[in-house]
A and B are shown apart, each in its own frame.
Chain A
Amino acid sequence: MNGPDATHSSGTRMVDAAQITPLAPARLSYRDAVRAGLRDALRADPRVFLMGEDVGRYGGSYAVSAGLLEEFGAQRIRDTPLSESAFVGAGIGAALGGLRPIVEIMTVNFSLLALDQIMNNAATYSHMSGGQLHVPLVIRLATGAGRQLAAQHSHSLEGWYAHIPGLRIAVPATIDDARFMLAAALACPDPVLLFEHAALYNAEGDLTPGLTAVDLERAAIRRPGRDATLITYGGSLAKSLVAAERLAGEGIDVEVIDLRSLRPLDEETILASVRRTRRAIIVDEGWRSGSLAAEVATRIVEHAFYDLDAPVARVCTVEVPIPYAKHLEEAALPSPERIVAEVRRSVGREGAG
């Protein structure tokens, strides 16, 4: 059960995102942005501490927390045993006890070892106690595929977690959100799971000048367009933007929505966009069956059915455990090519390109 070593992580495929974003001076990596957010939080509030496997002396399996142990000390940057259930539960207890823990779980796959604590305790305490208890806990998890790590290190289970009332699920897909979503999560009295797509850590981009905070609930339109709406989040945002650029070259003007929050879902932004473009294509690295994509599609059908000019479409991961071989892994995942093809189908331009 070893985490991928940051120094061996290629993780360059997603840098495409940076080619789309206009260049600005304050360029930094997603990893640096998350670390800056952590450092801010630790400086701003003595109740905040970070714990997880290898977050301290190792510097984080993705090097996110490198240097924080030296700056904040072992009381606040706590290496834990490989005991996901214990340290996630300890995060819950510490939150009940008046602290603001940030728990890092190396990958979402390992979070299943702590699922009892997340589902049965963190998500239920407030309601089950009649509103007496609150669990202001932030769990950061790496998620997603794309680095040939095979079937126990590559899955996208955030849609699963979004099924659970009592949790808030947020997904930073941009440098701005990587930088500022943590503060919003820490300010929230509820348990928040922040899913960081592991292939994004090396992506570089620019902070929006003057931006100092982001919210935790609203979707964002990352690219305005008229002809169809791509609804996506996390590691699929960059792929969707690449696809949108290609489609623009064909005269198809695509709007791209970054959900940012999977629970709650910003239905208002989704529906307003789909009512304008009259076409919706959901891009989700989760599997198709019982997925977040299925939920978004259903809400569109429930509330905007008569505004649609085409069936709602989905680009999801092929329903296999993620395989190791590069060509098989790539074939399993959403790709700009698959997204382009679905949009063309949606707008009735299947023969295009």
Chain B
Amino acid sequence: MNAPSEATVTREHGLALLREMLRIRAFEDRCYQLYGEMKIRGFLHLCNGEEAVAVGAMRALGPDDAIVSTYREHGHAIARGLPMNAVMAELYGKQSGCSRGRGGSMHLFDVARRFFGGNAIVAGGLPVAVGLGLAQTLRREPGITACFFGDGAVAEGEFHESLNLAALWRLPVLFLCENNLYAMGSALDRTEAETDIAAKARGYRIDAAAVDGMDAFAVEAAVGDAAAAIRGGAGPALLELRTYRFRAHSMFDPQRYRDKAEVEAWQQKGPLITLTTRLKTKGLMTEDDYQRLDREAAAEVDAAVAFAEAAPWEPIADLERFVYAEPAA
């Protein structure tokens, strides 16, 4: 499956991608506001600018596939189909949250959707993804495992150990590197002798390619192709999804490490702007269509906030639950 050319893009497909990206953008913008209102606490890592990666990848993956994510995973979770209510309630620390208030922003889980969590240790999810892939292989399951991580993770030993093991055992793992150019405040070229991430993967005999991570069509096509090859027994693959984070690393980041001009330049080629322009130029979407999707996204976020506000707190009496598995009732 190649990325659709200008001739083959359909209205339905384009609107579906845009709709999901608008949901994520609206969610993240509201989180930013709620943090200021002290409704959300702890670390909060927003994914504005990276929506095309989440939406494109999740559209190309199926319900059998397992997902392992990072601490910047609101977009992954929402695109995967986690109810926005449960995600927002989790950020509020409520019992109705997708991790019952024990995980917060960095640890969203939904086992029914095979969403194996945000991991707040950089590269900490990669070995787990290898194991999920091993289970899929040994159990002869049809699914693959998609593992998100950032460019910072490639400096960790777990990245190298995991790529080697996945390649050695030809496991069905798709490594998805969201390269947003900065590991917190450290630019890739200030921390890596070899900045070509795909080249590192090829060093482990893993098929790898770089993709425009600001183009949801391109991400969807690349992930779809890679997933199909993996399902066909080709072994693991890596995609470097080149993207950019519009907001700060977290809510405590004065962003001294990058120029405003750089941020603005990337915003001009942001995933929402480019997709919107493309669809309008092609005559596949009107301004009314856009406004409707935007209003629907805002309404969904409003409802999620109301849900989270009203949701109960986990009783302190239950503090020690779930440290160990509970006997079946």
Hey, which bits of chain A sit against chain B, CB under 8 A? 49, 75, 78, 80-81, 83, 85-99, 101, 116-117, 120-121, 125-134, 165-166, 168, 188-190
1/0 per residue, CB under 8 A from A, across B133-172: the answer is 1111011000001000000000001100110110011000
Contact segment of B122-130, B182-190, B225-233 = B122-130
* Contact (Cβ within 8 A) A86 B323: no
A95 to B111, CA, bound (A): 13
Q: Which of A86, A89, A98 contacts B139 (CB 8 A)?
A: A98
A99-B134, A127-B322, A189-B325 provided; 12 other pairs, C-beta below 8 A?
A80-B165, A86-B158, A89-B126, A90-B134, A92-B127, A93-B116, A95-B131, A96-B116, A129-B103, A129-B111, A131-B326, A166-B324
Q: How many Å from the CB of A65 to the closest CB on chain B?
A: 18
In the assembly, what is the distance between CA of A116 and CA of B103, in Å? 18
* Closest chain B residue to A166, Cβ basis: B323
Write the nearest CB–CB distance from B86 to chain A, whole angstroms.
10
Closest-CB distance, B158 to chain A (whole angstroms): 5
Chain A residues contacting B103 (CB-CB under 8 Å) are 128-130
Contact call A99/B139, Cβ cutoff below 8 A:
yes
- Which residue from chain B places its CB closest to the CB of A125 in the assembled complex? B117
Complex partner residue of A131 from B68, B161, B322, CB under 8 angstroms: B322
A88 to B326, CA, bound (A): 24
Is there contact, CB below 8 Å, between B323 and A94? no
CB distance from A16 to the nearest CB of B (A): 36
Decide if A81 touches B168 in the complex (CB within 8 Å). Answer: yes
Q: Among A75, A86, A130, A189, which residue has its beta carbon within 8 angstroms of that of B165?
A: A86
Bound-state CA distance A130–B104 (Å) is 11
A-B pairs, top 4 by smallest CB distance, nearest first, are A93-B131, A89-B127, A97-B135, A130-B100
Enumerate 21 A-B pairs (CB-CB under 8 Å) in ascending A order. Answer: A75-B138, A85-B157, A86-B161, A86-B162, A88-B127, A89-B127, A89-B158, A93-B130, A94-B135, A96-B131, A116-B124, A117-B128, A120-B119, A120-B121, A120-B124, A126-B322, A126-B325, A128-B99, A130-B99, A132-B109, A133-B111
- Tell whether B271 is near chain A: CB-to-CB under 8 Å: no
Across the interface, name the chain A residue whose C-beta is closest to B319. Answer: A127
> In the bound complex, do residue B165 and residue A81 qualify as a contact, i.e. CB atoms below 8 Å apart?
yes
Q: How far is the CB of B20 from chain A (nearest CB, A)?
A: 24
Are A96 and B324 in contact, with the CB atoms below 8 A? no
Contacts of B97 in A (CB 8 A): 130
Distance in angstroms from B210 CB to nearest chain A CB is 24
Q: How far is the CA of A189 from the CA of B162 in the complex (A)?
A: 25
Residues in B whose Cβ lies below 8 Å from that of A131: 100, 321-322, 325-326
- Of the residues A96, A126, A130, A188, contact of B98 by C-beta under 8 Å: A130
A90–B168 Cα distance when bound, in Å, is 13
Are A190 and B324 interface neighbours, CB within 8 A?
yes
Of all chain A residues, which has the CB nearest B321?
A: A131
- Residues of A with C-beta under 8 A to B100: 130-131
Partner of A81, one of B68, B128, B164, B321: B164
Given contacts A49-B138, A81-B161, A130-B100, contact A97 B127 (CB under 8 A): no
Q: Name B residues whose Cβ lies closer than 8 Å to a Cβ of A.
A: 66, 68, 97-103, 107, 109-111, 116-117, 119, 121, 124, 126-136, 138-139, 145, 157-158, 161-162, 164-165, 168-169, 321-326
Provide the residues of chain A in CB contact with B322, threshold 8 Å: 126-127, 129-131
The residues of B that contact A165 with a CB separation of less than 8 Å are 323
Given A127-B323, A132-B110; A96-B102 close (CB under 8 Å): no
Given known A80-B165, A81-B168, A131-B100, contact A89–B325 (CB-CB < 8 A): no
Q: Would you give the shortest CB distance from A199 to chain B, in whole angstroms? A: 30
* A94, B131: Cβ atoms closer than 8 Å: yes
Residue in chain A with minimal CB distance to B159: A86
Closest chain B CB from A201 CB (angstroms): 28
Docked-complex contact B109 and A92, CB < 8 angstroms: no
Q: What residues of chain B lie closer than 8 Å to A91, measured between beta carbons? A: 131
State whether A126 and B130 are in contact (beta carbons under 8 Å apart), knowing that A81-B168, A86-B162, A131-B100 are contacts in the complex: no
User: CA separation between A120 and B117, bound complex, in Å?
Assistant: 12
User: What is the chain A residue whose CB lies nearest that of B136?
Assistant: A97
Residue of B98, B101, B129, B324 most packed against chain A (CB within 10 A): B324
Bound complex: CA A87 to CA B157 (Å): 13
Which chain A residues border B135 with CB–CB below 8 Å?
93-94, 96-99
Which one of A85, A90, A132 lies within 8 Å of B99 (CB-CB)?
A132
Q: Are B162 and A128 in contact (CB under 8 A)?
A: no
Asked if B158 and A87 make an inter-chain contact with CB atoms under 8 angstroms apart, the answer reads no
Contacts of B321 in A (CB 8 A): 127, 131
Q: How far is the CB of A261 from chain B (nearest CB, A)?
A: 13
Contact: A86 with B119, CB < 8 Å? no
| A78 / chain B contacts, CB cutoff of 8 Å | 169
Closest CB of chain A to B328's CB: distance in Å?
10
> With A97-B134, A99-B138, A126-B324 given, is the CB distance from A86 to B107 under 8 Å?
no
Rounded to whole Å, the gap between the CB of A284 and the closest CB of chain B is 24
